[in-house]
Structure 1
Amino acid sequence: MEDAKLYIYFLERYAQGLHSESEHIQFLNWFDHLDPIEAETVMDQYAQISAKYESVQTLFPPQKSLINSIEQRLDQLSEPERSGKSETRFYLGFLRYAAAAILILAGTFAYFTIFRKKAPEVASVKMVTNDAFPGSNKAILTLADGSDIVLDDARNGEIAVQEGIRITKTADGKLIYSSEKITDDEASRKPGIFNTITTPKAGQFKVNLPDGTKVWLNSLSSIRFPASFDGPVRTVEITGEVYFEVAPLMNSIDGKTQKVPFHVSSADQVVEVLGTHFNINSYRDESATRTTLLEGSVRVLAAKKGQNVKSEVRLRPGEQALVPARIKSQQTPGAGITVRNVDSEEAVAWKEGYFRFKDAGIQDVMRQLARWYDIEVSYEGDFSSEQFTGFVSRNIRMSNVLKILQEGGGVKFSIKGKKVEVTRAE
């Protein structure tokens, strides 16, 4: 692929989903030996080419077999054989290969690696003992009677029946609630039957609620919901980070057929919606609760349970509402919600299988890694001036993610078991 026309031909075919595995391997072998300036040029050209085929890419998603092979090879790579630097980015041997992998994983995005504005010398990631593997589908289902079912250990098929509701686990690790009546005695379905699904560190899970709403839970998250949505309002409670695709629902109430609203309650806010796609990040160690709207319309009300509403906003697609931590802690009663325009893909990157950062501080980055890889993080030094932009797969080992971050510059890492120490790169 030394001829520029050949690699452009491959990128054109890749953007349309027409490339073969052998062509892809040939491209990766060629790309891995480029110098930093040439590698950046190729990535920029791919960003331009892929923009032409954005609609086609939705029809031809990246080949999963190729993604898996790339992730496996990333985990097998050793330390880079040589080092070098440029003013804006590092594309060392490992990083350039990782960038090519992200080309497969990330589609049309313009950023193909982590980078920062000032890049000092790069040191290797020091692994003292064990590395950390990425998280997986795992969660605990708590039934209304208080019994727990470990979902990652549960067999596929029907795992429980309660008050006329059938709970089924699918082969791809998803939980489905079937709201069909499976008993002739409708009166046997008691009101107020709630279930809770909780994900641990390094866990994620997907569930179809009884009304057909699809829910994705990130690590260290939970959702509490009724086994049957029979009232005038559908209400669920969450912690952590949860993505929703809310299904419309019509009920006959007092002889009238009407839409049933869907409410999502967390410790500091309520989101009201009729049918839409949105993400809520409500981790207690974050500076604010972030509600990001991808489709439809929602109303966000900032409030504490049992207290008056502080303020409310209505979001449009591409907007994000921030309820700051001071409302959570009641340090500033009456404080309002901030609304800003955002790249909604960044908010749901976790759901699609990768980390995505934009001008993020190292503490913001490491909080996400800590939840997904089940690690503890400590810091030594001042990192206030360090910001990272880029994305990387969540399906590779932690040390490889840290290598990509480290080669972005400004930080270095030392791993010892489940503990990661972050220090400044001198």
Structure 2
Amino acid sequence: MQSGKLKELLSRYLSNDCTAAEKAFVETWYNKYDTLNPMKLSEAEMEADVDAIQKVLSRVGGQSHRLILWSRISAAALVILSLSALLYLYFPGKQSPDYAHHTEADIKAGGDKAVLTLSDGSKISLTDIKSGEIAVQSGLKISKSEDGQIVYSSVAKSKTNQGQQAPEYNTIETPRGGKFQILLPDGSLVWLDAASSLKYPVVFAGKERKVELSGQAYFEVAKSKGKSFKVLSANQEVEVLGTHFNVNAYANQPSVITTLLEGSVNVNLKNSKNSKSGKRLKPGQQAALTGQLFQVEEVDVEQAVAWKNGYFAFERDDVRTVLNKLERWYDVEISSEGTFDDIKIGGKISRTKSLSEVLRVLQLTRKIKFKTEGRRIIAMP
């Protein structure tokens, strides 16, 4: 079958638009591999099967959905994971009863949820509020656009923040299971991931624009002549003039990760007077701050901003890192029984899928299984 026709067939299968004959064709091909017990095959046989399947899927875009275990795992485990997860992303398939998970009620993906705290301490839920004007501060109108974005726009000339008057700050916070987008007073765009917060002044006065981040955010900074833009997070300071970058600064991870997509940024230790302790990033580079040291490497920037574009992107992630991402997005608690020390996971899964669908992908690795009780989940090897 030509690759174009195969791609069309797979698309119609996922949309439940196949004829009975077409559905049988797809499922017969898939079930041949889904019902195999790979542990009974030799490594050479398993590798041959995976190579054959990958050649077919690569012609229909399958390579972008690879789920891989890295070199620290045995060759047999590598093949099992590549085989099962690759196929799942195209076909519903069947699942071994030993790795079935039980859900009382499926948990939906997160969505646009946030709370805006004004400078006077009043809180506004942005989840349910309708589009239109929310408040006026320092000559700026705060409103919610039709597409759900928070926008600051000028309504009058203001002398706020000049002279002796103290600056006013707003804070936008997303809960677990939430995300939000905001257009700052200077025209910079910010996307906030789940369980994140951004504190910023209502008016950017002086020679620098400074915000404070907890969690993860993607920034598209508006250029402002003579005014640098600084992002403070954990023990790090990022300084830019106008650029696109992502900062991942969750408290429960070992490093603060900064990824540059466009422009140039300087990363340094917060409150450090030693400029040599920091690093300057070029597009395509990522800085990881662990303790007091920065480590810079070239990366696939699409992995870093996949969350903004609606995907989970795992790249040699350990199991706890993967579970942390699921906890934040689905607002659940995931504990572990047993050890997953030797497992690394990579791949790409839509964040619009329900939790049960995502867990099912992970279970097809045959290296992890789940037991679900309401919003509490136990991961087991």
Q: Same fold (TM over 0.5)?
A: yes
| Structure 2 CA distance for aligned equivalents of residues 134 and 240 of structure 1 | 19
Percent sequence identity over matched residues? 38
Which of 35, 44, 50 is 2:58 aligned to?
Answer: 44
The structure-2 alpha-carbon separation of the partners of 1:358 and 1:49, relative to structure 1 and needing over 3 Å to count, comes to closer
Q: Tell me the CA shift for residue 295 of structure 1.
A: 0.9
The structure-2 alpha-carbon separation of the partners of 1:149 and 1:307, relative to structure 1 and needing over 3 Å to count, comes to farther
Which of 308, 319, 337 is 1:380 aligned to?
Answer: 337
Gaps of 5+ in 1: 51-84, 102-120, 251-258, 328-334
1:187 paired to 2:159: yes
Which residue identity is paired with 1:421? Answer: I
Q: Tell me the CA shift for residue 49 of structure 1.
A: 10
Which of 366, 372, 378 is 1:415 aligned to?
Answer: 372
Q: Tell me the CA shift for residue 32 of structure 1.
A: 4.4
The answer for the alignment partner of 1:313 in structure 2 is 279
Which of 212, 225, 230 is 1:263 aligned to?
Answer: 230
Query: What secondary structure does 2:372 align onto?
Result: strand
Which of 327, 330, 336 is 1:370 aligned to?
Answer: 327
**1:122–1:409 contact (8 Å) kept in structure 2:** no
1:34 paired to 2:9: no
**1:122–1:406 contact (8 Å) kept in structure 2:** no
1:200 paired to 2:170: no
Q: Tell me the CA shift for residue 409 of structure 1.
A: 2.3
The structure-2 alpha-carbon separation of the partners of 1:341 and 1:24, relative to structure 1 and needing over 3 Å to count, comes to farther
Which of 288, 292, 306 is 2:255 aligned to?
Answer: 288
Gaps of 5+ in 2: 34-48, 65-77
| Structure 2 CA distance for aligned equivalents of residues 126 and 247 of structure 1 | 47
The answer for the alignment partner of 2:90 in structure 1 is 99
The structure-2 alpha-carbon separation of the partners of 1:86 and 1:344, relative to structure 1 and needing over 3 Å to count, comes to closer
| Structure 2 CA distance for aligned equivalents of residues 360 and 271 of structure 1 | 25
Query: What secondary structure does 2:278 align onto?
Result: strand
Q: Tell me the CA shift for residue 396 of structure 1.
A: 1.3
| Structure 2 CA distance for aligned equivalents of residues 383 and 171 of structure 1 | 45
Which residue identity is paired with 2:156? Answer: T
Q: Tell me the CA shift for residue 278 of structure 1.
A: 0.5
**2:81–2:364 contact (8 Å) kept in structure 1:** no
The answer for the alignment partner of 2:124 in structure 1 is 149
Q: Tell me the CA shift for residue 293 of structure 1.
A: 0.6
Q: Which moved more, 1:137-146 or 1:163-172?
A: 163-172
**1:122–1:407 contact (8 Å) kept in structure 2:** no
Which residue identity is paired with 2:141? Answer: R
The answer for the alignment partner of 1:225 in structure 2 is 200
Which of 381, 396, 400 is 2:357 aligned to?
Answer: 400
The answer for the alignment partner of 1:123 in structure 2 is 98
Q: Tell me the CA shift for residue 312 of structure 1.
A: 0.2
Q: Tell me the CA shift for residue 8 of structure 1.
A: 2.8
Which residue identity is paired with 1:318? Answer: G
Which residue identity is paired with 2:265? Answer: V
1:389 paired to 2:342: no
**1:292–1:344 contact (8 Å) kept in structure 2:** yes
The answer for the alignment partner of 1:249 in structure 2 is 224
Q: TM-score, normalised by structure 1?
A: 0.73
CA RMSD in angstroms, aligned pairs only: 3.1
Which of 180, 188, 192 is 1:213 aligned to?
Answer: 188
Which residue identity is paired with 1:271? Answer: V
| Structure 2 CA distance for aligned equivalents of residues 49 and 392 of structure 1 | 13
| Structure 2 CA distance for aligned equivalents of residues 89 and 48 of structure 1 | 11
**2:188–2:221 contact (8 Å) kept in structure 1:** yes
The structure-2 alpha-carbon separation of the partners of 1:297 and 1:122, relative to structure 1 and needing over 3 Å to count, comes to farther
| Structure 2 CA distance for aligned equivalents of residues 40 and 188 of structure 1 | 61
Give the 5 Å matches for 1:315-334: 315-324=281-290, 327=291
Which of 277, 281, 300 is 1:343 aligned to?
Answer: 300
Which residue identity is paired with 1:183? Answer: A
Q: Tell me the CA shift for residue 292 of structure 1.
A: 0.5
| Structure 1 CA distance for aligned equivalents of residues 257 and 142 of structure 2 | 31
Which residue identity is paired with 2:352? Answer: N
Which residue identity is paired with 1:403? Answer: R
Give aligned pairs, total.
341
| Structure 2 CA distance for aligned equivalents of residues 13 and 316 of structure 1 | 42
Which residue identity is paired with 1:311? Answer: S
The answer for the alignment partner of 2:68 in structure 1 is none
The answer for the alignment partner of 1:75 in structure 2 is none
- 1:398-425 deviations in whole A, cap 9, x for unaligned? 111000001022111111111111111x
